[in-house]
Amino acid sequence: MGITPIFIDECAFDYSLRPIKGKSKRGTHAIIKNVPRSKNLTLLAAVSMYGLEGYMIFGEPVKTEDFVGFLVNLIKEKFVYRDP
C-alpha cells in the first residue's frame, strides 16, 4: 500500500463580487449598480489525486482552532484505525 499525499489549502473570497468595469453606449458614462456587500467566506479544502477529500466553509476568518478541527474531522473520516 503506497502513501497518497493530501493537499490542504485555505481560500478567502467575497460572496458578492462586484464588477470593476462597466459598459455603456458610446458618448455616455457607464452606470454600475451598487451591489450590497456580503460577508467574506473562507474555504478549507483537502484534495488528493483521487479528488476532493473534504471541505469546510466558514463565515469568518479561520482561527487555529478551526483549522485543527478541520484536520481532526478529516483524519476521523479518512483514516480508520484497525487493530491488527
- In SS3 terms, 7-72 reads as EEEEEEEECCCCCCCCCCCCCCCCCCCCCCCCCEEEEEEEEECCEEEEEEEECCCCCHHHHHHHHH
Q: Is position 27 within any domain?
A: no
pLDDT truncated to tens, each residue of the chain (84 aa)? 577 888 999 998 876 666 666 777 888 887 766 666 677 889 999 999 999 999 999 988 899 999 999 999 988 887 765 555
DSSP-derived secondary structure letter, 80: -
Q: Is position 70 within any domain?
A: yes
Q: In 3-state terms, what secondary structure has residue 81? A: coil
Q: How far apart are CA 48 and CA 73, in angstroms?
A: 16
Q: Is position 5 within any domain?
A: yes
Q: Is position 6 within any domain?
A: yes
Q: How far apart are CA 61 and CA 13, in angstroms?
A: 10
Question: 20 exposed, middle or buried (CB, 10 Å; 0-12, 13-18, 19+)?
Answer: exposed
Give the total number of structural domains in the chain. Answer: 1
Q: Is position 60 within any domain?
A: yes
Q: Is position 20 within any domain?
A: no
Which domain, by its residues, includes 3? 1-15+36-84
- What pTM does this model have? 0.65
